[in-house]
Amino acid sequence: MPHPAIALADDIVRVRAEQDRQLDRLGRAPTLDEQREMADLAAQHRELFADLEMSVPTPRGNDTPVAYEAELLRRLQRFSPSWRDSNLTRLATAGALGRGIVQGIIEDAWAVASDKTVGSFRVPGALREIRRPDRAGHEIVSFAGNPLSWMGSFMAPCTKVEGFRDQRSGRNLWRSF
């Protein structure tokens, strides 16, 4: 039987090893520079996300700037026909998420966002609201999409004349071609 002090030391070593394993599993928190970089990424994409009726995701507690950029791009990639089916998380982890891929996805998303014929993504068939500040700082609201989405409720239903009826004789008067 080992000495109680040795058993206590072994227990302490075992508990600390378990704590280290759990801390490694949790990951590390981002540094202040990494947090600033992620905040800059969010600010760069805020207008694009707003135009696409999406909110910019907040970084998770253990995100790195590369992982956060991959998350931003993952949300935008459905608007990019070239990169729609790619696994961006795997590309980011492998370090293959180059400027060309990032720029391609962002350009495709901007093309969809700036298309004035595309309506709402949240409510199909509705207009999409686009808010922009002017030089004086006032917010200008414009709408994109099909104007019939709201004008249709004010329009009378379409009708057509198929023939005429003579009131005196009750006979149908058809137009001959």
> pLDDT (tens digit, 9 = 90+) per residue, 124-142?
888 888 888 889 989 999 8
Q: Which residue has the higher pLDDT, 165 or 52?
A: 52
For residue 117, the model assigns a pLDDT of 85
Same domain, 101 and 144: no
Same domain, 46 and 70: yes
Same domain, 108 and 36: yes
* Distance from C-alpha of 77 to C-alpha of 46, rounded to nearest angstrom: 16
**In-domain check, residue 69:** yes
For residue 176, the model assigns a pLDDT of 55
* Distance from C-alpha of 52 to C-alpha of 99, rounded to nearest angstrom: 22
Same domain, 85 and 139: no
With a CB cutoff of 8 Å and minimum separation 6, the contacts of 79 are 52, 105, 108, 109, 111, 112, 113
Q: Domain of 138? A: 117-154
Instruction: Please tell me the total count of domains within the chain.
Output: 2
Same domain, 127 and 107: no
Q: Which residue has the higher pLDDT, 33 or 168?
A: 33
Same domain, 56 and 102: yes
**In-domain check, residue 137:** yes
Whether 74 has a pLDDT exceeding 80, the answer reads: yes
Whether 23 has a pLDDT exceeding 80, the answer reads: no
**In-domain check, residue 105:** yes
